């Protein structure tokens, strides 16, 4: 039995007639479709129709993979699977896109639905002369090639309609297949260079990168940068540009397909999603309504109670107890998912969220901005007028300089912080968060010293310029008539503390309003945004502002100041 469109077909040919009529009707209408089928050869119609419609190709020629039958373990596909096929059709048949980035949840059968099906279609019709497949590791690429070989040798419909396309006399090994129609697939691992690869005189006409990044590619900023640089310098340059003649395109550019999940906000997949040269297809495992979050779902009363049952140490079968609770209240607890046929809200989603939220947000929700927990929930800001009216017992300027001003550089962060004896709060009275050249940075320090004559101590992190900046600032001070006679003490020390631990000391203070900020500074909005998005150094794009605020608060607390009291000489006797 074959199950499709809520219908049941006892024989394969019945299903084939139904699916062919359905897709012919899409292009020609029902009456013409019926006429074509009565008068024509069904095999010829299927061959021509599948060339112009990848969805039909998959449902007709690859039905054993994608259509539910009594003799297979296929699941009903979700609407998003059909959307993926439409995107492939738009890319290869309609030639609307040259570069696409498919970002879907892990476990969504993206390899089978997308790159396996796409590669088979490409080479059945020789739409690609040379397809380059890039896997995470070479083993992944080899497994993909084994699937391709099996389809071309064992799928009766493919063999009947396209002939036996694999010949052992041609190039055929674990990573290469040369087809009898003079097209070629090669598979490599993501760590292998693809510079200069050719099939005869042909450069790759299609590149498919399936999960071409690993955890090690996102651990450090350097690793992430190297991965993206390699992609831009090698993958994007491995093929050919489009060829135009008399204003008409006679050859498309090499098509690049990236398929994967988000691992970090600056990982390869995330950066391609922000690259306007790519059309990004993004889907998440849980279908959220406007304003809804994953956390709001699992923190709702019923799900919160279910979580308590799941983590009940006194219950030897706590998971089953929680599962039974879910089944009892399923009608109220169930939420829409990307693939209802496969994912159970409790077993496949809730449990994974509870056990490892970071992994869940990355691999199932493709949401790097919410991979970690945001540390700062509330920022209390004040007007400049209010802050200027307070009486401060100590004030200092703290600076964390940056050495470069590129797009990926850190910010030069400066804060003027003060404390009052009355409430012991820390007030961040001025904020600088900019990408400054060395001279501008030194001048900005002097400008703040002029603006706040009560600043007596200046802390500058030593790691970046190794005291060269302090020397330059002191030279500027010596030439400044307002500053040259001021008593200013510079603290220039290496930063060796664990940043997360240091920033952790101000979480409660910021959230409880014991550290308050001037909302009217030029850079306040950027600084507050950075603080609100902070989830720990390894998961945050920038930590400059949080770091310098924590440094300022710690140093103000430990800063010893006092007033000199003049006594009458008689008090000495």
Number of CB atoms found within 10 A of residue 282's CB? 13
Closest CA to 541 of 524, 526, 552: 526
Give the chain's length. 573
How many angstroms separate the CA atoms of 326 and 535, rounded?
31
Closest CA to 284 of 212, 370, 356: 370
Could you give the domains of the chain? 1-76 (no CATH), 77-282 (3.40.50.300), 294-370 (no CATH), 381-558 (3.30.420.320)
Please answer whether residues 91 and 97 qualify as being in contact, where contact means their C-beta atoms are separated by less than 8 angstroms: yes
Name the packing angle between helices 468-478 and 438-451 (round to 10°). 50
How many angstroms separate the CA atoms of 476 and 71, rounded?
82
Number of CB atoms found within 10 A of residue 239's CB? 21
Does the model's pTM come out above 0.85? Answer: no
pLDDT in tens, the chain (573 residues): 999 999 999 999 999 999 999 999 999 999 999 999 999 899 999 999 999 999 999 999 999 999 999 999 999 999 999 999 999 999 999 999 999 999 999 999 999 999 899 999 999 999 999 999 998 887 887 888 999 999 999 999 999 999 999 998 999 999 999 999 999 999 999 888 999 899 999 999 999 999 888 888 887 778 889 999 999 999 999 999 989 998 888 889 999 999 999 988 889 999 999 999 999 999 999 999 998 999 899 989 999 999 999 988 788 999 999 999 999 999 999 999 999 999 999 999 999 998 888 789 888 999 876 666 678 888 999 999 999 999 999 999 999 998 887 766 778 999 999 998 777 789 999 999 998 899 999 999 999 999 999 999 999 998 888 889 999 999 999 999 999 889 999 999 888 888 888 998 898 889 888 899 999 999 998 899 889 888 888 777 788 999 999 999 999 988 875 443 334 444 444
The residue whose two tokens read 């129609």 is: 181
Bridge-partner residues for 68, per DSSP? 3
User: Which SS3 state, helix, strand or coil, does residue 347 take?
Assistant: helix
How many angstroms separate the CA atoms of 250 and 310, rounded?
61
Per-residue b or e along 492-520, where b marks 16 or more CB atoms closer than 10 Å to that residue's CB: beeeeeebbebbeebbebbeeeebbbbbe
**Residues 6 or more apart from 134 whose CB is under 8 A from it?**
141, 187, 188, 189, 190, 194, 207, 208, 209, 210, 212, 235
Closest CA to 92 of 65, 120, 111, 112: 120
User: Which DSSP symbol is given to 497?
Assistant: S
Token pair in block for residue 316: 């030897």
Count the alpha carbons within 13 Å of 281 in the hemisphere toward its beta carbon.
24
β-pairing verdict for 381-382 and 279-282: unpaired
Closest CA to 90 of 223, 332, 279: 279
Number of CB atoms found within 10 A of residue 246's CB? 5
């Amino acid at each position: 039995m074959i199950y499709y469109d809520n219908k049941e077909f006892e024989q394969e040919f019945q299903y084939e007639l139904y699916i062919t009529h359905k897709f012919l009707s899409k292009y020609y209408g029902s009456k013409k479709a019926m006429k074509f089928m009565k008068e024509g050869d069904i095999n010829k119609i299927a061959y021509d129709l599948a060339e112009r419609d990848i969805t039909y190709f998959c449902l007709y020629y690859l039905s054993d993979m994608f259509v539910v039958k009594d003799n297979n373990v296929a699941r009903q596909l979700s609407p998003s699977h059909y959307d993926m096929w439409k995107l492939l059709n738009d890319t290869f048949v309609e030639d609307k896109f040259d570069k696409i980035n498919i970002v879907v949840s892990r476990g969504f059968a993206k390899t089978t639905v997308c790159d396996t099906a796409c590669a088979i279609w490409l080479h059945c019709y020789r739409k690609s002369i040379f397809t380059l497949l890039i896997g995470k590791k070479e083993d992944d690429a080899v497994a993909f090639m084994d699937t391709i070989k099996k389809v071309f040798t064992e799928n009766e419909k493919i063999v009947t309609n396209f002939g036996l396309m694999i010949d052992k006399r041609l190039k055929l090994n674990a990573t290469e297949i040369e087809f009898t129609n003079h097209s070629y697939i090669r598979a490599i691992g993501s760590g292998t260079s693809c510079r200069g690869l050719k099939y005869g005189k042909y450069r790759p006409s299609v590149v498919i990168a399936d999960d071409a990044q690993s955890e090690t590619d996102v651990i450090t900023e350097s690793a992430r940068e190297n991965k993206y640089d390699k992609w831009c310098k090698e993958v994007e340059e491995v093929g050919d540009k489009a060829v135009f003649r008399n204003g008409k395109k006679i050859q498309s550019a090499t098509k690049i397909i990236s398929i994967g999940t988000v691992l970090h906000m600056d990982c390869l997949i995330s950066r391609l999603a922000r690259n306007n040269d790519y059309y990004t297809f993004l889907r998440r495992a849980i279908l959220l309504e406007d304003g809804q979050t994953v956390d709001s779902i699992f923190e709702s009363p019923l799900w919160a109670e279910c979580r308590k049952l799941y983590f009940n140490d006194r219950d030897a079968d706590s998971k089953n107890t929680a599962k039974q609770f879910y089944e009892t209240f399923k009608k109220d607890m169930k939420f829409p998912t990307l693939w209802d046929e496969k994912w159970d809200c409790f077993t496949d989603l809730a449990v994974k969220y509870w056990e490892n939220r970071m992994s869940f947000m990355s691999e199932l929700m493709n949401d790097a901005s919410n991979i970690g927990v945001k540390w700062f929930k509330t920022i209390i800001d004040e007007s400049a007028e209010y802050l200027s009216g307070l009486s401060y017992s100590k004030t200092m300027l703290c600076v964390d300089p940056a050495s470069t001003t590129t797009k990926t550089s850190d910010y030069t962060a400066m804060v003027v912080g003060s404390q009052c004896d009355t409430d012991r709060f820390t007030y961040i009275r001025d904020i600088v968060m900019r990408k400054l050249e060395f001279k501008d940075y030194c001048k900005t320090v002097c400008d703040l010293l002029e603006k706040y004559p009560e600043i007596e101590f200046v802390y500058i992190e030593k790691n970046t310029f190794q005291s060269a900046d302090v020397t330059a600032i002191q030279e500027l001070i010596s030439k400044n008539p307002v500053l040259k006679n001021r008593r200013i003490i510079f603290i220039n020390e290496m930063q060796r503390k664990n940043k997360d631990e240091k920033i952790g000391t101000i979480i409660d203070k910021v959230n409880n309003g014991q550290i308050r900020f001037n909302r009217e500074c030029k850079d306040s909005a950027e600084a507050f945004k950075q603080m609100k998005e902070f989830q720990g150094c390894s998961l945050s794009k920038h930590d400059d502002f949080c770091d310098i605020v924590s440094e300022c608060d710690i140093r103000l607390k430990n800063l010893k100041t006092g007033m000199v009291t003049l006594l009458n000489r008689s008090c000495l006797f």
